Structure 1
Amino acid sequence: MNEDRWRDLFHRAPCGLLSMTVDGAVNSVNDTFLELIGSRHEHIVDTYFMEHLSNGSKLFFETRFMPLLRLHGQVREMALELVRPDGSKLAVFVNSTLVTTDASSIVHTAVFDATARQDYERDLLEARRSADRSLARLKVLEGAARVFASAMTEEDLGAGLAAAAQSATDATNTSVLLVRNPGELELVAGEHPVAARIDLAGLCPEAEAVRAADAVVCASPVAIRRRFPAAVDALFDAKVESLCVVPLVEDEAVRGVLVCHFGRTRTLDDSVRKLLTALCDQASAVLQRIRLQQQVRHQSLHDVLTGLPNRSALQSRLEQVLSGSVRHGRPIAVIFVDLDGFKAINDSLGHQYGDQVLRQISDRLSRVVRAEETVGRLGGDEFLIICEDIDEDDARAIADRAREDIAQPLEGMGSSFPLSASVGICVYRPSEGNAPVTGDQLVRLADNAMYESKRAGKDRSTVVLA
């Protein structure tokens, strides 16, 4: 092959070719290299190769590339970055071989454009990171699903949701607030640095998320100040610089919110927002199940007509009170109330009016007792009051207030159908000399005392000791 063919092959090679001294001084380059770097022959030859590298590559060239070349006589696929005359950068792979003779040493170098490969590796890395993020999100959702499945109360559910959100976002504080009372959010789990109760009429992120039924995100203090000026002072005092509030939506109604507070500026990308929304969707379904279970449990323990505890609930409560009485040596009382004149109302006006009477009496009895005392309906026109830490005089006083309230005119009935109550009171004082008693025995004793009141003329109270 003649010299012209060799020269043509050198300059048209599919990669940049150059030769340089062991000090890195360039003494020849081909046209391909000049095209890669966007420069001219006279601007490359007799310069140092390192002059055309980025700052990071210069350090790498001096401390890694050249020492390896001198040690092994060659370097393969070393990644470097060239700087073109216009300031743009080009990622390249460099292969070099050190050829040494008696007269001199020369470095033959091939330079390959690494842009396509770099883009491919970048895409591959991003795909791997995306897969890792998807796997992490899946693990968070799976973990939350396991916790949610075992949740029996709203507090259990809230704690699981707050923990899952903290794991997903690394938030400074996470909290869950539910709409329990009309117009108000109540904290059920986690830590909320501002308030345990939030007025939904207020101008705050939580109220806005409920009103819009959509996520509220403020990625910086500037965003918080712009959107919620009324809440700025409280949030900044709590060192909150960014936040995210995601609603819990069930049947198009917002039942609560998940709140994430951050002590620094934080941008939440779409994947994190979608994860938090997915967690809230899961939690909303579980919240519906928990509330249905609570409703069924409440119905099983409460009288449908009056809403008072039913016989089953009263039995359970009485056993609980009796156990505490024996343990602490405190007296208790069971007050049995039976209405006088109720049968005449039912027979004359019908069950619809009778039901109205029972509801009125239930409300009146609930008003005459203390908060720690229990009023329930045994059935028909019979009611029971369970009192803790009470003596005969105080129990009789409660019974007398109950009789006075019951005797007041009934709404919608006028004075044609007077109503009164016969009351039996059983007081139990635990002591070492007393034989053990059961709740059923106390109720029977109070029932017997009530019949004594009826036999004595009705509208009165009779007290017995167990």
Structure 2
Amino acid sequence: MSGIDDTDWFLRAPCGLIALSPDDVILHANDTFLTWTGYERGDLTGRPFGSLLDVGSRLLMETRVAQLLHLQGRADEVAVSLVKADGTAIPALINAVRDERAGLIRVAVFNATERVRYERELLAARRAAEASERRVRILQELSTAFGLSATDEDVARSFADAARDAFDASHTAVHLADDSGELVVVAGSNPLFGKVRPVPALRATTEVTVVTDDSVEFPEIAAGLREIGSAALTVTPLIADGERVGLLVCYFAKSSDFDAGFWELQHALGRQASQTLVRLRLQRKLAALALHDQLTGLANRQLLQLTLDQAIEASTLSGEPLSVLFLDIDDFKSINDAFGHSAGDSVLIELATRLAGAVRAGDTVGRIGGDEFVAILVGADKYAAESVAERILAVCRAPVAVSEGVVSASVSVGVAVCRRGMDRDLTSQQLLVRADAAMYDAKRAGKDRVTLSPQA
């Protein structure tokens, strides 16, 4: 056939070679192309080249490639998908040139299967690297935010925001356990609130759990998800050192293929939040221990001093009275001698409880040392202070049961008052000294009684 070379190099070239008529009809194809595609030569001769392409590739050939051949006489590295004789497809790159002299379009076809596979691997690796970088960035940013958090609420807000961005969630909610152990939403939003009752199994889960809008295991939640237009939710438990501190719940508007990276990041964020919450709670416990008496749980000398300083300052500014009660257990040494120090500690604990219950709401009670206690009564004049002191005497007279028997105890109370407009330069130490002196006056007067400081 004129213009067509049937030499050995043409037939066995390491790429597919095709000769087309100007109207896209296959005139000849070499053995390499036949081997790749699985066609017989007779099946191809006279057939439109476009019939070997998928729809997208055919459209590309009829528009872009045809235009290039017409304007430039050639088209290079055009990516197409060839349909083989068995119906499967192989990716290919083609170069085409218009041979005016021979009246042909010469096409070189390169099998791009390995190239496409390599490119896909590179793309997957790049996406994995980007995802890993994003996870690291999210963890670093969250770690910084947690480092600046001073309260559980701060942690919860940072966690809810980070989780929403990290997982492209429509809503996130952080549930933390309150003092009673009940889980409450502290940050974020719960679109199922009021629509679905809490599910104990999910609240007690120890693993990240997914619930979809067609869940059979959790039909009520599935119905709720459909109602709010969400496709799924995930529940991530917040557990640190075996302690359950809360849950993270993420809501997704569209169904998602939760991959390994998703689970890894959910676990990592959950661990980080849990550890931060435990750290903050430990700090609060240590702070409380530093300001509270270890035996009775009342305020210690340091906290009493801070509270009294603030109360005097507030009283000076407002002109409101302030009273201080100084209490001492009568004959406490004889109690220790008769019943032992363990019984003495039990008496201290019991009287501390009674004392705390006898003062008014908002008053501060503390153990200043040994068997001595102080009560700070903000806004109390000498009459109100004396009334509180008499109530304390009454509750402390009741016998105290200890393992060694029954102890009869009483207290002596001294009252000092910071008077409106008359004690503007009074210090906390001076006020305590007055109350202490009044308490010793009560001791000398017979104990188990209240004495007011002469300055009251």
With normalisation by structure 1, the TM-score equals: 0.87
Change (3 A) 1:399 1:261: farther
What code does the residue aligned with 2:204 have?
E
Change (3 A) 1:322 1:173: farther
Change (3 A) 1:355 1:56: same
1:55 is aligned to 55
Cα RMSD between the aligned structures? 3.0
Matches within 5 A, 1:359-438: 359-412=349-402, 417-431=407-421, 434-438=423-427
Q: CA deviation at 1:377?
A: 0.7
What code does the residue aligned with 1:168 have?
A
Q: CA deviation at 1:35?
A: 3.0
2:203 is aligned to 207
1:459 is aligned to 448
Unaligned ranges ≥5, structure 2? none
Whole-Å separation in 2 of the counterparts to 1:390 and 1:65: 96
Q: CA deviation at 1:73?
A: 1.7
Matches within 5 A, 1:112-151: 112-151=110-149
SS of the equivalent of 1:450 reads helix
Q: CA deviation at 1:65?
A: 1.5
1:352 is aligned to 342
Residue of 248, 259, 276 corresponding to 1:286:
276
User: Could you tell which deviates more after superposition, 376-385 or 137-146?
Assistant: 137-146
1:251 is aligned to 241
2:13 is aligned to 13
SS of the equivalent of 1:304 reads coil
SS of the equivalent of 2:66 reads helix
1:307 is aligned to 297
1:65 is aligned to 65
Deviation per CA, 1:60-92: give whole Å up to 9, x if none.
Answer: 222321212222222221101122344322211
Identical residues among aligned pairs (%): 38
Whole-Å separation in 2 of the counterparts to 1:236 and 1:327: 59
SS of the equivalent of 1:134 reads helix
Q: CA deviation at 1:119?
A: 0.8
1:204–1:230: 8 Å Cα contact kept in structure 2? no
1:90 is aligned to 90
Whole-Å separation in 1 of the counterparts to 2:388 and 2:356: 11
Q: CA deviation at 1:168?
A: 1.6
Whole-Å separation in 1 of the counterparts to 2:402 and 2:242: 40
Paired residues, number: 452
1:319 is aligned to 309
1:447 correspondence with 2:436: yes
Q: CA deviation at 1:230?
A: 5.3
2:45 is aligned to 45
2:175 is aligned to 177
2:203–2:247: 8 Å Cα contact kept in structure 1? no
Change (3 A) 1:369 1:234: farther
Whole-Å separation in 2 of the counterparts to 1:430 and 1:43: 113
User: Could you tell which deviates more after superposition, 331-340 or 128-137?
Assistant: 331-340
User: Could you tell which deviates more after superposition, 14-23 or 73-82?
Assistant: 14-23
Whole-Å separation in 2 of the counterparts to 1:43 and 1:161: 64
Q: CA deviation at 1:162?
A: 2.8
SS of the equivalent of 1:385 reads strand
Whole-Å separation in 2 of the counterparts to 1:38 and 1:344: 109
2:315–2:321: 8 Å Cα contact kept in structure 1? yes
1:36 is aligned to 36
What code does the residue aligned with 1:458 have?
K
1:217 is aligned to 210
Deviation per CA, 1:132-168: give whole Å up to 9, x if none.
Answer: 1111111112222223334443333333333332232
Unaligned ranges ≥5, structure 1? none
Q: CA deviation at 1:457?
A: 2.7
Q: CA deviation at 1:4?
A: 12
Residue of 249, 256, 259 corresponding to 1:266:
256
Deviation per CA, 1:23-58: give whole Å up to 9, x if none.
Answer: 323322223323333333344333322232211112
Change (3 A) 1:315 1:244: same
1:343 correspondence with 2:336: no
Change (3 A) 1:190 1:462: farther
1:77 correspondence with 2:70: no
What code does the residue aligned with 1:48 have?
P
Change (3 A) 1:215 1:413: closer
Whole-Å separation in 2 of the counterparts to 1:236 and 1:425: 67
Q: CA deviation at 1:235?
A: 5.9
What code does the residue aligned with 1:27 have?
L
SS of the equivalent of 1:454 reads helix
User: Could you tell which deviates more after superposition, 105-114 or 332-341?
Assistant: 332-341
Whole-Å separation in 2 of the counterparts to 1:291 and 1:402: 34
What code does the residue aligned with 2:374 have?
L
With normalisation by structure 2, the TM-score equals: 0.88
Residue of 135, 147, 168 corresponding to 2:166:
168
Q: CA deviation at 1:297?
A: 1.6
Change (3 A) 1:321 1:188: farther
2:401–2:407: 8 Å Cα contact kept in structure 1? no
1:228 correspondence with 2:213: no
What code does the residue aligned with 2:20 have?
M
Deviation per CA, 1:80-117: give whole Å up to 9, x if none.
Answer: 1122344322211101111223xx74211011111111
Whole-Å separation in 1 of the counterparts to 2:41 and 2:338: 118
Whole-Å separation in 1 of the counterparts to 2:345 and 2:396: 15
